[in-house]
Amino acid sequence: MLNIVLFGPPGSGKGTQSEKMIDKYGLIHLSTGDILREAISERTPLGIKAKEYMEKGELVPDEDVINMVVKRLDREKNPNGFIFDGFPRTCGQARFLRTLLTERDTRISVMIALQVNRDELIRRLLKRGQQTGRSDDELSVIMNRIEVYERDTAPVIDFYRNMRKYRPVDGLGSIEEIFDRIVGVIGELK
Ligand code: B4P
């Protein structure tokens, strides 16, 4: 099984590249951001709770995210593998994912970490905010999301670096150029 953690700060292109990767590799896309937004639009108890965190640019508590991921994984019977997009976002989530996959006799193949500078992140997210009206793409919330990323999420890199699974990928350039870099990294996996 090919299990990929697609990692990066908000606006680095995780959602964008995931779409292309599912087509090429036949993997299941597990985006915690998408699942949470769906819960918000359906006004489920999880959605009502998550909305408060997401509107401020804070992370939804680990316990809620973890329960949601277990349910999603268990829905798939014979998957080729998963793209974990926006998950794990804390070291607690990373440890949990390792246990969960070990119990299912599999593991993470690689962490692909998109590298994008702060100015470009802000530019992309502001643009998306204007185009879609997404409430967390507003400047003060974007700034908090980047701060939360640096404080709580960036340390997850070391978790995968220690297991020799960390692969940084330049996230600047056209969507196709970045995708080609990702395909190159996946092609080198043994
Ligand atoms: P996410 O939905 O994961 O949002 P994100 O980090 O902002 O990334 P996203 O996928 O949307 O953006 P992308 O980089 O693709 O999370 C939203 C919120 O949900 C979090 O803030 C948190 O509150 C909560 N949450 C989610 N997962 C959680 C977890 N595990 N634990 C706790 N809380 C969690 O792209 C951004 C924009 O850039 C797009 O408009 C795209 O068109 C553009 N773009 C992409 N590639 C480009 C390129 N090469 N050039 C120019 N523009 C590009």
Q: What is the pLDDT of residues 90-109, one digit of tens each?
A: 999 999 999 999 999 999 99
Alpha-carbon span 95 to 84, nearest angstrom: 14
Question: Can you tell me whether residue 175 is helix, strand or coil?
Answer: helix
Is the beta carbon of 59 within 6 A of some atom in ligand 1? yes
The domain segmentation of the chain, as residue ranges, is 2-187
The whole-angstrom separation of Cα 162 and Cα 147 is 24
* Domain spanning 2-187: CATH superfamily: P-loop containing nucleotide triphosphate hydrolases (3.40.50.300)
Counting ligand 1 atoms within 8 A of each CB, the residue from 36, 49, 67, 83 with the most, and so the one to mutate, is 36
Cα 63 to middle of ligand 1, angstroms: 21
Which residue is it, tokens 């959602």?
15
User: Whole-model pTM?
Assistant: 0.95
- Tell me the per-residue pLDDT of 120-166, one tens digit each, with 9 for 90 and over: 999 999 999 999 999 999 999 999 999 999 999 999 999 999 999 99
Alpha-carbon gap, residue 119 to 90, rounded angstroms: 24
